[in-house]
Structure 1
Amino acid sequence: PRLILASASPRRRDVLVQLGLDPDVAPAHVDETYLPGETPVEHVERLARLKAETAAGRGEGAARNGGASTGAGRIREAPDEGEAGAPAAARGAGTVEGARPARLVVGGDTVVVHGERVLAKPADEDEAVAMLRSLSGAAHEVLSGLALAWEGGTVSGVTRTAVRMRRFDEATARRYVETGEPMDKAGAYGIQGKGAALVEGIEGDYYSVVGFPVGLFLELLERVGWRFAFDSFVPLSPPEPPPSTS
């Protein structure tokens, strides 16, 4: 299928290019305000869906229904508290009925959650330093939502990864901020860049922290009838029957 990335994030595109893919880029600009009572998990999944559906030409309907699916889909639920980094559980089975979509739009959203605080992109350098100081020597969670949308529906999910930061002082945080790297990143750091020096370790999907969970992407592809073939996609065939033992 033709793949369209509904994001201006160079990191998401870099991951797809790393996989041997060459997506078209069509950033979707949506309202990222939290809905009343919305949890961070619900928020990243809704925004991933809304971005994908907007770029697919279905944004108005998605906005009216809060990002609810217009077709069959799977939602991966985040684990309970205390299980950060554990594989996300899946709800639903089988594949989407009907013809395989020939045009897929992928949307994503990522937030950092530290205790009761949700850390989005910093507004300025001082806020970036404050975010980093709050993360120093502590663990936090990265939630990444991903969605595939096409003319007939949407499938989506969320991954949850635990990240522990090294202990560092304010001067270190400020020197990192002065590189300019953290200013467009949730939580004010980039694990795939210089910010790797601030990270002690992770539990879960590294690519979820980057902002594009590869494992979830491959699972969603299979939900719509396609399998990744290391630089392209091939139709997903029904499983072969087991050989006869008689």
Structure 2
Amino acid sequence: MTIWRGKDPLILASQSRARKMLLASAGIEFEALPADIDERAIQENSGLSAPAEIASLLAREKALFVSSERPGRFVVGADQTLALADRLFSKPAGRDQAAEQLRALAGQVHELYSAVAVAQDGKILFADTSVARMSMRPLREDGINAYLGQAGEAVTTSVGAYQLEGLGVHLFERIDGDHFTILGLPLLSLLAFLRSENLLAI
């Protein structure tokens, strides 16, 4: 017995471990097929600067790219941006850049914008963006080094050099926003859309 009613599994245009975990935990039948797009070039050519708009654009582009290759299939694209005031953060290139990001974020409140889009046959059927406000506690240099040493290469896989579902939880003193937004997929609104398309039994 499955709650997924679609003729074919949903397609997730991402290899994100967190997003795959969220869909699997929700009982959604899906396959992961990452979009082969140049995210930075798309962002630069768009002229957009607002982090919510950038996340939404990239989520849509990912969904559209994979949708064009898989006719008839429902494709989910998602993206996340991190902003501290006017500064946008990208995934750190290595430990030194991860340390620099943590120094900048320590003791500050930053925003995570998570966007989701669903495409079918090259058309966007649904899109949504949510925000979480993350209060990172003040960090000393020895604490940053201890965290980076324990977290290892994982710090280069997430913007801001942390994963809240892992060791990154130690960096925070307050979070305002839902768990799914923080993990990079506005799941509740996505599920509501899938129900509206009669794709879910619940």
Question: Equivalences for 1:208-223 in 2 at 5 Å?
Answer: 208-223=181-196
> 1:114, 1:123 → 2: CA distance?
18
1:204 maps to: 177
Normalised by the size of structure 1, how large is the TM-score?
A: 0.71
The match for 1:226 is 198
Q: Mean Cα displacement is larger for which, 50-59 or 185-194?
A: 50-59
Tell me, in whole angstroms, the C-alpha distance in 2 between the residues paired with 1:215 and 1:190: 20
Equivalents in 2 of 1:38, 1:197: separation in Å?
Answer: 30
* DSSP-derived class of the 2:201 partner: strand
Q: Is the 8 A contact 1:144 1:213 kept in 2?
A: yes
The residue type equivalent to 2:123 in the other structure is G
TM-score if structure 2 supplies the norm length?
0.85
C-alpha contact 1:111 1:187 (8 A) present in aligned 2? no
SS of equivalent residue, structure 1 residue 226: coil
**How far 1:7 sits from its partner (Å)?**
0.3
Aligned-residue offset at 1:176:
1.8
Q: 1:6 to 1:199 in 2, by over 3 A?
A: same
Q: Distance in 2 between matches of 1:17 and 1:58?
A: 23
Question: For residue 88 of structure 1, what is the aligned residue in structure 2?
Answer: none
TM-superposition CA deviations, 1:6-59 (whole Å, max 9, x none): 001111101111112231110112121222244211111010011011111169
Counterpart residue number, 1:195: 168
Residue identity opposite 1:111 in structure 2: T
Task: Look up the match of 2:34.
Answer: 27
Aligned to 2:3: none
Q: 2:119 aligns with which of 149, 152, 161?
A: 149
Deviations 1:123-165 (A, max 9, x none): 1111101111111121110001101111162111111111111
Aligned to 1:10: 17
Q: Aligned-residue CA RMSD in angstroms? A: 2.1
Which residue among 18, 28, 47 is the counterpart of 2:58? Answer: 47
Aligned-partner SS, 1:56: helix
Partner of 1:114: 84
- Map of 1:62-141 to 2, 5 A cutoff? 103-141=73-111
Residue equivalent to 2:144: 173
In 1, Cα distance between the equivalents of 2:134 and 2:83? Answer: 10
- Any unmatched runs of 5+ in structure 1? 60-100, 228-232, 236-246
User: Bigger radius of gyration, 1 or 2?
Assistant: 1
CA contact (8 A) 1:177 1:183 kept: no
Distance 1:220 1:135, change over 3 A: same
Report the count of equivalent residues: 188
Sequence identity, in percent? 32
- Output the CA distance in 2 between the equivalents of 1:152 and 1:117: 32
- Determine the C-alpha separation between the residues in 2 that align with 1:204 and 1:104: 27
Do 1:156 and 1:220's aligned partners in 2 also have CA atoms closer than 8 Å?
A: no
